Structure 1
Amino acid sequence: MSEKIENRIVLITGAAGGIGRATVSLFVERGWRVIGVDRQSFGEDFPVEGLFIQADISEPAQLEGIYEKTRAYTGQLNAVIHNAALQIAKPLIETTAEEWDAVMASNLRSVFLGAKLAYPLLKAAGGGAIVNVSSVHAVATSANIAAYAASKGGLLALTRAMAIEFAPDNIRVNAILPGAVDTPMLRAGLNRGHVGGETIYDRLENLARKTVNGRIGKPEEIAHAIYFLADDTQSSFMTGQALIVDGGATARLSTE
């Protein structure tokens, strides 16, 4: 039976994406109220007891607006999941300064500013958790994705810094590093040519073979790992850590 503790509230960015939707569903299943944020519409099936805010977290003014609406909805937050991300798949020498800045604004600056805005609401709850969704590209990467990899690597350093500064207020901060998960972002990224195959299905199959588990992850599997880090009843002695969920991909030597 799923444990349910009523009245806990979580804010999830990137809520309309593959991992985001799975995370929204899991938190609702566990009895949380969810505030979802995404630049795309979620559709009509967002939880009726929650709040969906359509906005772009890469824009500081819009991020301020998100938290204005959040404060009008609730006086506290128990968890914040920074899941929204932008991936630009291009060779480094072809990446423009504007594209680099756009990735950093979405993937790194938004977490810095979002944490500042979320901090008073987490503190008002007596503490809570921040989960930053990084990527295995923070520790092992591939060609033509430099801006994304750099942003996710920076997110690990930011996670550690936030964990140290927020610990006195009982706010834990951890990062999760998903590997290959079947999402629209993954499928779009396979077009950059690092995995062989004429069709998207061939590329997915070839990518799956590269993991120790021999398959690609499901968004629901990442959602469960996020929930573990967010829930104080499960990970209360963890902060400043990076949890890799990648089917064993980073465990294997590339020369094997």
Structure 2
Amino acid sequence: MEERQRVMLITGAAGGVGRATVAYFAQAGWRVVGVDRADFGAGFPENGLFIRADISNPQDIETIYQQASAFAGVLDVVVNNAAMQITRPLVETSVEEWDLVMASNLRSVFLGAKLAYPLLVAAGGGAIVNVSSVHAVATSANIAAYAASKGGLLALTRAMAIEFAPQNIRVNAILPGAVDTPMLRAGLNRGHVGGESMSDRLENLARKTVNGRVGQPQEIASAIYFLADGRQSSFMTGQALIVDGGATARLSTE
């Protein structure tokens, strides 16, 4: 009997890490369902499905999983990668901005998990990978809403892992550090890293890591695949995998 082609769904598919992850899974032979509020453009896998949607909107999330169900009937992996980052001092952050970050980064994962659950069960089990951030464990100024949402995502990951384990669904989180993506470059404008030009800021940021460089999206995609693929990480659930070039290993006082 021919083995069924595995299916994964990823939010934030058009971003830096999202694009790299779409390509990684497609090259490994998976069918890919990609979701983003921005257009993916050329290059999305021909045997996949791209859905233009805003995950901060609960109705959009329902539509996403309805279309995914019609497309494949099952899901083997869900990667919750989409995120919004507002860089503003806490006392200047509005209620509307705070709520939008939480809706995009945390509530969307809760709602998506409820809707993905029956599709994962129909596949006989699978995996959920929540893309958190090192800001969940060590953060900086003017990014409180984002850090809080990513910290909440770690707690949600553990809760989901406990509840979904009886159905053979593993749930883990990945915590990327500084990765060269449009979000990182936009965030460098908040002034926490010195340098007149963007290249100077990236170089100064790279010096702060043990490895002496920022990460590449493909490196995060590889780690996501490790957590997603039950052939590689079958005994891991409820865990947080930090991929940050050693940044959080060094004392800030050093």
Residue 35 in structure 1 maps to residue 44 in structure 2: no
Choose the corresponding residue for 1:149, options 142, 147, 156: 147
Does the residue aligned with 1:240 lie in a helix, a strand or coil? coil
- Structure 2: segments with no counterpart, 5+ residues: none
Does the residue aligned with 1:131 lie in a helix, a strand or coil? strand
TM alignment of 1:39-58, pairs within 5 A: 39-58=37-56
TM alignment of 1:189-228, pairs within 5 A: 189-228=187-226
Does the residue aligned with 1:205 lie in a helix, a strand or coil? helix
Q: Cα deviations across residues 211-246 of structure 1 (Å, max 9, x unaligned)?
A: 000000000000000000000000000000000000
Partners of 1:226 and 1:6 lie apart in 2 by: 21
Q: Does the CA-based 8 Å contact 1:20-1:83 persist in structure 2?
A: yes
Percent identical pairs in the alignment equals 79
Partners of 2:78 and 2:233 lie apart in 1 by: 15
Equivalent in the alignment of 1:93: 91
Q: Does the CA-based 8 Å contact 1:6-1:32 persist in structure 2?
A: no
* 1:199 shift after superposition: 0.8
Give the letter aligned to residue 43 of structure 2.
D
Equivalent in the alignment of 1:71: 69
Residue 170 in structure 1 maps to residue 158 in structure 2: no
Equivalent in the alignment of 2:13: 15
Partners of 2:80 and 2:19 lie apart in 1 by: 13
Equivalent in the alignment of 2:24: 26
Partners of 2:217 and 2:158 lie apart in 1 by: 25
Equivalent in the alignment of 2:241: 243
Structure 2 length as normaliser, TM-score? 0.98
Partners of 2:42 and 2:241 lie apart in 1 by: 33
Partners of 1:6 and 1:15 lie apart in 2 by: 23
* 1:44 shift after superposition: 2.4
- Size of the aligned set, in residue pairs, is 252
Give the letter aligned to residue 75 of structure 2.
L
Choose the corresponding residue for 1:231, options 229, 232, 236: 229
Q: Does the CA-based 8 Å contact 1:138-1:152 persist in structure 2?
A: yes
Q: Cα deviations across residues 5-28 of structure 1 (Å, max 9, x unaligned)?
A: 750000000000000000000000
The two structures, once aligned, show a CA RMSD in angstroms of 0.7
Give the letter aligned to residue 138 of structure 1.
A
- Structure 1: segments with no counterpart, 5+ residues: none
Give the letter aligned to residue 194 of structure 2.
G
Runs of 4+ in 1 over 6 A off after TM superposition: none
Give the letter aligned to residue 214 of structure 1.
G
Partners of 1:71 and 1:62 lie apart in 2 by: 14
Give the letter aligned to residue 244 of structure 1.
I
Partners of 1:193 and 1:45 lie apart in 2 by: 34
Choose the corresponding residue for 2:251, options 250, 253, 256: 253
Does the residue aligned with 2:171 lie in a helix, a strand or coil? strand
